[in-house]
Amino acid sequence: MPRITAQTALFLDFDGTLVDIAAQPDLVQVAPGVTDLLAGLHEALGGALAIVSGRKLSDLDHFLAPKLLPVSAEHGAQFRLGDGSLSQAASPNLHEVSRVALALAAQHAGLKVEIKTTAVSLHYRQAPQLELLCLEAMAEAVKRSPGLELMQGKCVFDIKASGVSKGSAIAALMGQSPFAGRLPLFAGDDTTDEAGFASVQGLGGEAIKVGEGHSLAEHRCASPSELRQWLKASLQDLQGVRA
């Protein structure tokens, strides 16, 4: 595993990376001590820690309360920086993809739709046999929706504005204080994190893939629990260096 130093800009995905994936997105459990661990790292890194997730900002704040960390939410479409300032890419027209996703979920048990500010997610973890049906319907809806693209994650189809990704999110954050001038490090678990891995490695930084599956990332960690152990040891190192 790479080393987190006082000069690292640390970017962390949430689901499957910091927390184990649950049967439903709202059922994830944040392990005891994780919010304190993140708050400690945020402080030790001079504020250069951000959560980079496909989730809604309000979800991330809910799970990581009371700490409000810097966040890129909705796959790079939204940002909240350390000073509390919010910014968002222009909201795409989600009407057609929302309509199709909601119609599918109304017809088939086990599908769950999340209408976000800039994206729509169709979860099929409870109905994996419907993967192909969901893919075909959403791909068709995306074709009728200029400016949108379809991404597949773990048991989810995400429809979001083309041109934003976790890669563009990290690149944008790296242009701003306190991230600028640091060496980026990103940990993620899913196919949607690959753009982030490419971004940090392209900037001379390091990437960690959590769990199995093909990845561009040069480092690998078995599970969210193993990643949390490494973060904990890294924080102790950082605090030891400063003491």
Please give the positions annotated as active site: 13
Segment interacting with Mg ion (CB under 5 A) among 135-143, 160-168, 181-189, 232-240: 181-189
User: Which residues, including other chains, have CB under 8 Å from residue 43's CB and lie 6 or more apart?
Assistant: none
Helix and strand totals (H; E) in the chain: 7, 12
Nearer to Mg ion by Cβ, of 73 and 238: the residue is 73
Q: Residues 76 to 105: which contact Mg ion by CB under 5 A?
A: none
| 158 makes contact with Mg ion (CB under 5 A) | no
Q: Is the dihedral of CA 113, 147, 81, 224 positive or negative?
A: positive
Segment interacting with Mg ion (CB under 5 A) among 9-17, 71-79, 196-204, 231-239: 9-17
CA angle 53, 79, 202 (to 5 degrees): 65
CB of 5 to Mg ion, least distance (A): 25
CB of 6 to Mg ion, least distance (A): 27
**Contact (CB, 8 A) for 48 and 8:** yes
Q: How far is the C-alpha of 93 from the C-alpha of 70, rounded, in Å?
A: 27
| 194 makes contact with Mg ion (CB under 5 A) | no
Tell me, by CB under 5 A, how many residues bind Mg ion: 5
Contact flags string 10-49 toward Mg ion, x per CB under 5 A? ---x-xx---------------------------------
Q: How far is the C-alpha of 112 from the C-alpha of 172, rounded, in Å?
A: 31
Nearer to Mg ion by Cβ, of 60 and 111: the residue is 60
Residue 101, φ and ψ in degrees, nearest 5:
-65, -45
For Mg ion, the binding residues (CB under 5 A) are 13, 15-16, 189-190
